[in-house]
Amino acid sequence: MGMTAYEIIKKKRDGRRLDAAEIEFLIASFMKGETSDYQIVAFLMAVYFRGLSGRETTLLTENIMNSGELFDLSSVPGIKVDKHSTGGVGDKVSLLVAPLVASCGVPVPMVSGRGLGHTGGTLDKLESIPGFRTRLTPDEFRGQLERIGVAMMGQTDRMAPADGRIYALRDVTATVDSMPLIAASIMSKKLAEGTDALVLDVKTGRGAFMQRRKDAADLARTMVRIGREMGKTMVALITSMEQPLGQAIGNSVEVEESIRALKGEGPPDLLEVTLALGAEMLMAGRKAKGIPQARAMLEGQLRNGQALEKFRQMVSAQGGDGRVTEDPGLLPRAGELVPIQAARSGFVERIDCLEVGLAAVDLGAGRTTAASPIDPAVGIILHHKVGERVKRGEVLATVLAGNQEKGNRAAVRIRNAYTIGPRRRRIQIILDRL
Amino acid sequence: MGMTAYEIIKKKRDGRRLDAAEIEFLIASFMKGETSDYQIVAFLMAVYFRGLSGRETTLLTENIMNSGELFDLSSVPGIKVDKHSTGGVGDKVSLLVAPLVASCGVPVPMVSGRGLGHTGGTLDKLESIPGFRTRLTPDEFRGQLERIGVAMMGQTDRMAPADGRIYALRDVTATVDSMPLIAASIMSKKLAEGTDALVLDVKTGRGAFMQRRKDAADLARTMVRIGREMGKTMVALITSMEQPLGQAIGNSVEVEESIRALKGEGPPDLLEVTLALGAEMLMAGRKAKGIPQARAMLEGQLRNGQALEKFRQMVSAQGGDGRVTEDPGLLPRAGELVPIQAARSGFVERIDCLEVGLAAVDLGAGRTTAASPIDPAVGIILHHKVGERVKRGEVLATVLAGNQEKGNRAAVRIRNAYTIGPRRRRIQIILDRL
């Protein structure tokens, strides 16, 4: 009896569960051109309404992953551990945590993405370092992991190509907002890189894709289950994206802040998220007996310069100028600085995270379409964050722009993004672990 | 602000109502190739889950109708009245009612379809008359209506082409079973023919597409509302398709039964449905003051031979051999006759209507795919219907087949389709009117 896409669509439309053979057929026949784009879209819209069970989600992820090249890292000794964030504003944790954890002897194979919407992307940030190459071959990636224990590259066209084709269809058919489809898309790409363990940073709040905490927890649970069913060690932290992480938003400014943080001089919220995720990575890599010990190890590597040294090794290995760790002047930096002053005294009660992210995109730090170029030199520095006391006239933030007009426009948005009032609020950053 | 298919899909996905401009944009941009097949499918699947309001359904119908050529029948005097059936087994009412009503002075412009699944099609039946042409130009159609008051033709490619394209997509994406989409599809084609009034025969029961009475009533209500909102006089009868209508199932055998019925010698159930629909058509055409008067007029036209004469005029006008009304031997007739005997005595309690329809398709009377040829000469004659007393060994039915093997296979199916038992059941045929 021949299986047909029609029967599979109808089954899902009617709320019935699909088995392994049906999901395999659907993705394989799609990649062979036997199942059409419109049939896949019918399936995706049916999934939007009917959902997928945990098992179905895992099967979908596996089949999307298997549509392309899988990295074989078995030649790299040790338990390979990666971290993935669902995306935020000022989220430069990958730049810190990858070399930091690698410096403790845990190999970190990291395949990252570019900025999307109001959020920044790790690849864009790394590429603001002169010479840095994010396009590596699988052999280069593996070789670098063997030599220095850390490598960061962009996804290739040959990894999970079904995801790219499905995502392009979801993007124009209003089928993006489906938890199992989001989870399958992230995990299929991430697990193709060959890691043994994955620590997830699922962001929630105003600047995150999952603004509601419940949605973030659902997504985290779904991804953790997928990874575990595929034999991976999985941990997820739910972290706050109510205000930007750290002080810098942009590309070269975030690299600069990361380097300072690797020297132990980073803003407290950035350090907190980095240590929390890093400790989970050390535990997953079996390098520590408990979270307190793991954190102590990480803090030691920041103090003794080993984390920074690992970062420098990685930059050099990937063609970048390693001297950037000592001379931030090597990074591009926009010439037009626009300071933003506090209109009144009080506490910073809120910084609209989404608005800051959009202002950064408008400056040129992010993309409006997948093809648009970015300007690595522009950005925003937040001198004061939520909970801090400010005086009228004090500089709250500085915009680094390519020209005065863009700088002034961003400055207005940033000023309006700040709420100053009488209450001293505190934002809890690490919200949950699963 | 540019409208986008994406926003329209998302709005419907979220259960919100679309306005006239949005529905117009969607269909127009689809026909221009600016909205892709997969976006239309995303919309259709969203409609499957969210439904359409009455207003949205009418707007969709109107826009699909307006995607092609509209017949202008304003030169034909009088109120033009058509009838449409949702399809059944042995349903040859169109062949009877069109000339019958036309013979009373009501112009009947009828654009019909072909057999689909287990149901027969009016065009296939007409084409079993030697020479009969169902492909007419709009001018021929209008000219014939002006001259003799009745014309029956097939849909052209230029009528509601959006419906054909949408239906082809629905057919392979499990989006056929949606009440508003079914109603819009039927009505967009039907109203392109330029009729002023439409009497619907919505079938329900084992042999109908809407097996459940509630679904048939929903479809009838939806179609009546669409027609009325588009300014047409609309009536719908819900009629039973629990057993085949009349005694003959096939093409030439149904034409032969229709001719007998036009002479007043038809089976009672066929006559009942014909008179009920015909009376509604006369009322819609303002030729009678009430249903009893209308029925009396129709019965008179059957008795005095005027209905049969109008049928003969139509057959001749469309290239067919008009002598067929007097000499059924001119019709093709399969040579292999297989009688089916009653296995025991009792009352016919049930005749599985779907099974009879499928057996007829298997004989060659209908289509398995849109492209498959049909055999006009084959068919099934049911000598006994539900409620009739039969004796063991008596002939229940006769199969007319192209060869013995096919005849025997159909005979087994027909025998099994009959249930003979102790109870005298009666099937009510006209179930509701709206």
pLDDT recorded at residue A4: 93
pLDDT digits (tens, 9 = 90+) for B227-256: 999 999 999 999 999 999 999 999 999 999
DSSP secondary structure, A355-424, as one string: HHHHHHHHHTSS-SSTT----TT-EEEESS-TT-EE-TT-EEEEEEESSHHHHHHHHHHHHHHEEEES--
In terms of DSSP H, where are the helices of A127-267?
138-148, 161-172, 179-191, 213-229, 252-262
Which residues on A lie below 8 Å from B44 (Cβ)? 42
Mutation to test the B interface, candidates A29, A45, A169, most B Cβ within 10 Å: A45
Token pair 């419109």 is found at A38
Per-residue confidence in pLDDT tens, chain A, 434 aa: 478 999 999 999 999 999 999 999 999 999 999 999 999 999 999 999 999 999 999 999 999 999 999 999 999 999 999 999 999 999 999 999 999 999 999 999 999 988 778 888 999 999 999 999 999 999 999 999 999 999 999 999 899 999 999 999 999 999 999 999 999 999 999 999 999 999 999 999 999 999 999 999 999 999 999 999 999 999 999 999 999 999 999 999 999 999 999 999 999 999 999 999 999 999 999 999 999 999 999 999 999 999 999 999 999 999 999 999 999 999 999 999 999 999 999 999 999 999 999 999 999 999 877 777 899 999 999 999 999 999 999 999 999 999 999 999 999 999 999 999 999 999 999 999 99
In angstroms, the CA A5 to CA A30 distance is 9
Using a CB–CB cutoff of 8 Å, tell me whether B37 touches chain A.
yes
Tokens coding B111: 């654009």
By C-alpha distance, the chain A residue nearest B169 is A38
Task: Measure CA A189 to chain center.
Answer: 13
Kind and range of the H or E run holding B399: strand B395-401
CB-nearest to A6 from B5, B41, B172 is B172
- Tell me the catalytic residues of A: 84, 163, 170, 185, 189
Using a CB–CB cutoff of 8 Å, tell me whether A298 touches chain B.
no
Q: Is the pLDDT of residue B315 over 70?
A: yes
Please, what's the b/e burial string for B112-127 (b: 16 or more CB within 10 A of its CB; e: otherwise)?
bbbbeebbbbbbbbbb
Contact B173 A48 (CB under 8 A): no
* DSSP SS3 for A263: coil
pLDDT recorded at residue A117: 83
Tell me the pTM.
0.89
CB A391 within 8 A of CB A345: yes
DSSP secondary structure, B291-346, as one string: HHHHHHHHHHHHHTSHHHHHHHHHHHHTT--GGGGT-GGGS---SEEEEEE-SS-E
Q: Is the pLDDT of residue B368 over 80?
A: no
In angstroms, the CA A339 to CA A361 distance is 18
Task: Find the angle CA(B240)-CA(B243)-CA(B248) to the nearest 5 degrees.
Answer: 115
pLDDT digits (tens, 9 = 90+) for A137-182: 999 999 999 999 999 999 998 999 999 999 999 999 999 999 999 9
Contact B172 A36 (CB under 8 A): yes
CB-nearest to B38 from A13, A38, A46 is A38
Give the helix, strand, coil percentages of chain B, each rounded to 5.
45, 15, 40
Token pair 């909205």 is found at B35
List C-alpha distances in Å: B38 to A29, A41, A282, A424, B166: 17, 6, 45, 51, 11
In angstroms, the CA A25 to CA A45 distance is 18
Contact B41 A38 (CB under 8 A): yes
Sign of CA dihedral B117, B123, B127, B129: positive
Q: Mind telling me how many Å the CA of A166 is from chain B's nearest CA? A: 12
pLDDT recorded at residue A200: 98
Q: Is the pLDDT of residue B1 over 80?
A: no
Which residues on A lie below 8 Å from B13 (Cβ)? 45, 48, 174
Token pair 């102590």 is found at A296
Using a CB–CB cutoff of 8 Å, tell me whether B168 touches chain A.
no
In angstroms, the CA B389 to CA B76 distance is 49
Using a CB–CB cutoff of 8 Å, tell me whether A174 touches chain B.
yes
* DSSP SS3 for A56: helix
Kind and range of the H or E run holding B279: helix B268-284
Amino acid at A175: T
pLDDT recorded at residue A113: 84
Phi, psi of A326 (to 5 degrees): -105, -25
* DSSP SS3 for A340: strand
pLDDT digits (tens, 9 = 90+) for B316-367: 999 999 999 999 999 999 999 999 999 999 999 999 999 999 999 999 999 8
- Tell me the catalytic residues of B: 84, 163, 170, 185, 189
Using a CB–CB cutoff of 8 Å, tell me whether B337 touches chain A.
no
pLDDT digits (tens, 9 = 90+) for B202-228: 999 999 999 999 999 999 999 999 999
In angstroms, the CA B91 to CA B244 distance is 7
Using a CB–CB cutoff of 8 Å, tell me whether B22 touches chain A.
no
Residue B143's pLDDT band, with cuts at 50, 70 and 90, is very high
